[in-house]
Structure 1
């Protein structure tokens, strides 16, 4: 799908907290590119209430829509309901794209139903965590070669389950893990993933939203940071830092590299003014990330167009299994259709 000459027509499926506080706000940011033609939910009244503040019509039965009536469906329902929902809108799939929350599958027997997903022209996984702007900036620095060849990434208290693994992989060119070692600790599990070329990704729990630290070790430089860009005392090497103005957070920067790098938050003030149920800074940055996922349908993107549904499902299976198995041959858990 190339840059649309007219606005894409979108159907939202779901009406829960995630739709109200992520999908609908993200689509509002993309209003010049996307027109939301309706919202459908299992309970019509819930859909009506969710869409009302955005001026979006509730659709009681998606069968009133015909093939070609929409260009993209965005699905955010409980994972165990994904397959049933996709069956109900399967007639809209030919020629249309799908954006669906991770991991897409809720049960092992759902793997046999992956054909439900393959009917869609394009699929994007709504993995907004790895698309948060500060993490995109770190990825930009890695892909630009500013750190040299990355050999180790450590994340402490800031990543959880498949979200953590997806973030590691996004910084490592989407390399799949070859193995995983885990150790139980009070409140969680520490997991060390191994990747091709001897690269290591370490995830230390317990997870605490918006806190913790990370370190990316390359052959040319080390990059450290707090997930929200807050100061970490005595942190070595280059650092992720917050940029703030009179109205608060305006962006992130990486200090200490030969060429400084920044990312602006052009949507942040707009999001903060929306009066969302969850107006936390963390959620606003996740909405920014979700808008990146959606816009990758027509904009060139180094990660999302290559992070397939099969990658997300495999990451979910690997991270789940690694929490209970001290040593896991993760390379054995790969699905046909996954990326490299």
Structure 2
């Protein structure tokens, strides 16, 4: 463990007590030990707890600017070399790849990050690292669907589910990354056939987010739906009684891609090319990779730790017994344009 990560060890108990603060778009107070400016496309309450604990451990203040990934990428491009951004954080490997392709991220050589983040969950050049995993899987009506009927991704597009599938739009980055992974595994012809099957199976035109798809299954609109696993976990363990009731009848299945496991994606981040506080930015990434940080996010947001050595906490542990496909998440981004064209041609709106 490096000296920087050593400073973060032993925070587990304190993490549970961290209070959730408010987002800030104003410059942070750097009197205690510096500042790191985080451009974040993640919008979860637990992230603010992480930032507060990083400041407590390091003395470095965190200034968070929020927006969608495209908005933040465009902002950094317009700011150019004068951008105050030190770290870019996004909830999909495809979004991180877009920042990489725009020349906005710089390689980081860190023994701590290399040790904590498996090779298939980070950029080979060190421009970004994944800190949490999420699986793109199937929510199903347990009264009408048997788990063995959705054992593979091919099953989602099979005639068995004609008019019985709910899914988000084709331009959603989670779907683009999934289809990019299918192209990587199957090639464009088989993936195009699969996309046509998806369109034939739609119960309605794509609309809403992943939780809307899960709720639609419970309402009888469809029998199956594509969703990221953590949305379901949050519904099952959350404070909303209606959502908890949904997960009493709707269950989660983890299809396999070519017998190697379920498709997984990441949330992660990288140091920007023009980071004015580069050392603080690297410390921040190393903190996000620490067992304490990964455990907190898994516990409160339903994501899985990227580090296989970190025990998955409750309530996420209930849904953690699955095999993850070993494909490198770095393969998704370069396939996204092809994925979008293929889905559009199939009629997936």
Higher helix share: 2
Higher strand share: 1
TM-score by length of 1: 0.40
Ranked by relative contact order (alpha carbons within 8 Å, sequence separation 6 or more), the top structure is 2
TM-score by length of 2: 0.39
